[in-house]
Amino acid sequence: MREMIDPERVLIRDSTDIVRARAVARQVANQIGFTLADQTRLATAVSELTRNIVQYAGEGVCEIADASGEEEIRLRIIVEDNGPGIDDIDRAMKDGYSTGGGLGVGLPGTRRLMDDFAIESSPGCTRVSIALVRRRV
């Protein structure tokens, strides 16, 4: 088995933290062996999810972990906050739904970019878990 590397935790409070989380995701993805295109996919996903934290929750955490196995490389990211939560997740996952005057494509776009996407939300806790997986070459 490959040695597990400790996950990176980035505290998210403002736009500088978004930039930092984005850079960490890109760097870890690069170390694991993701292509430049996949590094950009992951950086974009982290950008969208952490921007939602700043916009709708105030603060939260982005955790980036190498979850690779023998056969595949896998980057898993969990973005979590203790903000007000999302009233209607089905609606929030549709293109064009925004309560903040945005385009409303952050969540659905992120789901399309990733291989795994899970979201749970209740008042006081929103958690989005994503992963990108590629077969080792």
> Mask: binding to Mg ion, 44-63, rule CB under 5 A, as x and -?
--------x-----------
The residue type at 12 = I
CB of 26 to Mg ion, least distance (A): 19
Shorter beta-carbon distance to ligand ATP: residue 13 or 136: 13
Comparing CA positions, the residue from 9, 75, 1 lying closest to residue 38 is 75
Comparing CA positions, the residue from 70, 60, 68, 56 lying closest to residue 21 is 60
Name residues whose C-beta falls within 8 Å of residue 14's C-beta, 6 or more positions apart in sequence: 54
Total interface residues for Mg ion by CB under 5 A: 2
Comparing CA positions, the residue from 8, 3, 12 lying closest to residue 27 is 8
Residue numbers 47-66 binding ligand ATP by CB under 6 A? 48, 52-53, 55-57
34, 62, 104, 132: which one binds ligand ATP (CB under 6 A):
104
CB of 71 to ligand ATP, least distance (A): 33
The stretch among 15-23, 66-74, 80-88, 105-113 that binds Mg ion (CB under 5 A) is 105-113
Residue 83 interacts with ligand ATP (CB under 6 A): yes or no: yes
DSSP H stretches of helix in the chain: 15-32, 36-52, 89-92, 106-113
11, 19, 23, 103: which one binds ligand ATP (CB under 6 A):
103
Spacing of C-alpha 106 from chain mean position = 11
Instruction: Using CB under 5 A, list all residues that contact Mg ion.
Output: 52, 106
